[in-house]
Chain A
Amino acid sequence: MLSRLPLAALKSSGAVGASRSTLSAAGKRSASQVRFASTASSSSGAFQSLFTSRASLVSVTLFSAGSIAWYTHLYGSLPFIGEVHANSLADDGLHPGVYPWPHKGLFDTFDHASIRRGFQVYREVCAACHSLDRIAWRNLVGVSHTADEARLLAEDVEYTDGPDDAGEMFQRPGKLSDYLPPPYPNEEAARAGNGGALPPDLSLIIKARHGGADYVFSLLTGYVDPPAGVEIREGMNYNPYFPGGAISMARLLFDGLVEYEDGTPATTSQMAKDVVTFLNWAAEPELDERKRLGLKAVILFSALFAVSIGVKRFKWTPIKNRKIIYKPPVDNAL
């Protein structure tokens, strides 16, 4: 097949060129053929040999087969070709719903009252197992707490400092510059306290999970009884949003678990929304300022773009509108 079909198809076009050259060799040259004779003969010969030779056919075939092999090696499967999978979609976790977060829109800042409530939920519930390494007490100042409040919060925690003059480490109350205290001294202690599962650090958890805030909210509110046929091991819990379905963290948010100082009813979904807002702030503390600067930049750059279009049109007007008129020379000899 390789030797017959494409070559035969290509050869017919080659025969046309050949017959033309024999015709011209026979001396029946029309004026146009004479005119293009030199260019046509030399270039079409090279063109046809490139497209009709068996070597190029073989090399193009090898190149295509090699590309397909390389792609499959890199990505596992070819696009647009159906596949059959043995695993169930539940293994990847249920996709979270899309929630109308107060900070979702292009111009929307965080709801800082929600950040403050979320910090309370984190401190009273999540902080028992999850660390928040990248947030210091000073980061709360001007975001969810006043400096005095943050200072009081920090002073509740004892930090190891030192060494002092005698070379001893000592305990002191926290300062604004201290980071939030981790619940466990190291990863091994965290695993030992949680049945071998490591509670992840929550500083960047919203950025670190597919689905972001929607996913964490769905996870926190999505605990249900396992469906029939799903075995959950001792010490694990079923959550359809968690990839694999079995999660070590139990459901922790129940109605009325915390008491908000601003009187907001502490329902499960309210607490989940507040703590996710707080964690979203922890992951993206620059969000408010980034969106404000982005708005200014978009306004300025689109104005500059409009000005540049105007200048271009202004400069090109004489070139675009000119008309070149051919005035034939007057033959005075006749």
Chain B
Amino acid sequence: MLGNTFYNSIVKRNSVYVSTIFLGAFTFGVGFDVAVSSFWDRWNQGKQWKDIRDKYVQDADS
């Protein structure tokens, strides 16, 4: 049942199949990066440059 839906909606047309794979890879890449980065920033809270830079930056630039 699930397999049939999967086949009919995605695998049946090669154009849909290929674009699903490419879109899935793109979204996974972005999502994975966001997930790892959020863990990373939580783990290293207060240690990274972005956590302390507002103490030193004067203007809008840099």
Interface residues of A (CB under 8 A from B): 102, 107-113, 116, 141-149, 262, 288, 292, 295-296, 299-300
Q: Return the contact of A110 from the options B47, B55, B56 (Cβ within 8 A).
A: B47
- Asked if residues A142 and B58 are in contact (CB atoms below 8 Å), the reply is no
Closest to A115 in B: B49
Q: Which residues of chain B are within 8 angstroms of A149 by Cβ–Cβ distance?
A: 56
Min distance, Cβ B56 to any Cβ of chain A, angstroms: 5
Q: Is the interface of B mostly helix, strand, loop or mixed?
A: helix
Sample of 9 A–B contacts (CB below 8 Å): A107-B43, A108-B43, A112-B47, A113-B52, A141-B62, A146-B62, A148-B58, A149-B56, A292-B37
- Asked if residues B44 and A146 are in contact (CB atoms below 8 Å), the reply is no
Q: Check: B48 CB closer than 8 A to any chain A CB.
A: yes
Closest to B47 in A: A111
- Asked if residues A143 and B47 are in contact (CB atoms below 8 Å), the reply is no
- Asked if residues A109 and B44 are in contact (CB atoms below 8 Å), the reply is yes
Interface residues of B (CB under 8 A from A): 32-33, 36-37, 40, 43-44, 47-49, 51-53, 55-59, 61-62
- Asked if residues A292 and B47 are in contact (CB atoms below 8 Å), the reply is no
A102 to B51: give the CA distance in the assembly, Å. Answer: 15
A213 to B31: give the CA distance in the assembly, Å. Answer: 36
- Asked if residues A295 and B62 are in contact (CB atoms below 8 Å), the reply is no
- Asked if residues A147 and B56 are in contact (CB atoms below 8 Å), the reply is no
A109-B48, A112-B47, A288-B48 given as contacts; is B40 within 8 A of A146 (CB)? no
**Additional A-B contact list (20), CB under 8 Å, known A112-B52, A141-B62:** A102-B47, A107-B43, A109-B40, A109-B44, A109-B48, A111-B47, A113-B52, A116-B52, A143-B49, A145-B56, A146-B53, A146-B58, A146-B62, A148-B59, A148-B61, A288-B48, A292-B36, A295-B40, A296-B33, A296-B36
Closest to A108 in B: B44
Q: Return the contact of B62 from the options A109, A111, A144, A147 (Cβ within 8 A).
A: A147
Q: Which residues of chain B are within 8 angstroms of A143 by Cβ–Cβ distance?
A: 49
Closest to B37 in A: A292
A145-B56, A146-B57 given as contacts; is B32 within 8 A of A296 (CB)? yes
Closest to B59 in A: A148
A14 to B36: give the CA distance in the assembly, Å. Answer: 70
Interface centre among A111, A146, A147, A292 (most CB of B within 10 A): A146
- Asked if residues A295 and B36 are in contact (CB atoms below 8 Å), the reply is yes
Q: Which residues of chain A are within 8 angstroms of B53 by Cβ–Cβ distance?
A: 146
Min distance, Cβ B21 to any Cβ of chain A, angstroms: 15
Min distance, Cβ B3 to any Cβ of chain A, angstroms: 15
- Asked if residues A107 and B61 are in contact (CB atoms below 8 Å), the reply is no
Min distance, Cβ A100 to any Cβ of chain B, angstroms: 14
